[in-house]
Amino acid sequence: MAIVDDLLPHEVLQQLLSELKQALGEGEFHPAHIGHGVAEYRISEIRGDKIMWLEENALTEYQRLYFSFLDELREHLSNYFRIALPWQECHLAAYPSGSFYKRHFDQFRETNNRIFSVILYLNENWKPEDGGQLRVYESDGHYDIDPKMGRLVCFRSDLVEHEVLITNKPRFSITGWIRRDEPTPIFLG
Ligand code: OGA
Ligand code: MN
């Protein structure tokens, strides 16, 4: 688990946040799904965030900046661990007050292509009583991370079990996954 604060300039964080809020206000977010084929009515019992996937060809100026930061991080991790990491995917996330994401791994059961999870938090003046901590489980217990503005966390998608505790305020972030393959197109019929 890597936790890094203040890696990105304040101005970039502010812009990412205001663009996120704008897209949210324009109805660009939709309720997140879990895995494949999970009945819709059960989803809110597991996670209550709304998301907007970022498409590489439709990024704002500051989202593009964040993407190139992720490119650099991906290349660094690839070199350091000597594994091919050709792809990343990324979405904006908004947790309404009262929402959470139950304990899980970031890996679909039937695939193993996500290697690193990277989350950038965009919550100004976050206080412990606001809730929404990222709870990280270890073999002998757990610890909590405050989702405060500019904090970046990076962890192994398949190894680190985690949860988002109930948030008492709207909670914003950008979540990305660094993958070991490029997504294959799905052909139907
Ligand atoms: C996720 C997730 C954690 C967080 O989106 O898979 O676990 O702190 N997010 O936002
Ligand atoms: Mn997760």
Kindly report, residue by residue over 141-160, the tens digit of the pLDDT: 999 999 999 999 999 999 99
Q: Tens digits of per-residue pLDDT, 50-62?
A: 999 999 899 999 9
Q: What pLDDT, on a 0 to 100 scale, did the predictor assign at position 183?
A: 72
Helix (H) or strand (E) holding 24: helix 10-25
Ligand (nearest to CA of 145): 1
How many angstroms separate the alpha carbon of residue 173 from the centre of ligand 2? 12
- DSSP summary character for residue 183: P
- Count of the separate structural domains present in the chain: 1
174 lines ligand 1 (CB under 6 A): no
Domain-located, residue 42: no
Domain-located, residue 188: no
Which range marks the domain in which residue 28 is found? 2-36+47-179
Residue 148: give its domain's CATH number. 2.60.120.620
Domain-located, residue 189: no
CA torsion, ordered 69, 70, 72, 78, to nearest 10 deg: 170
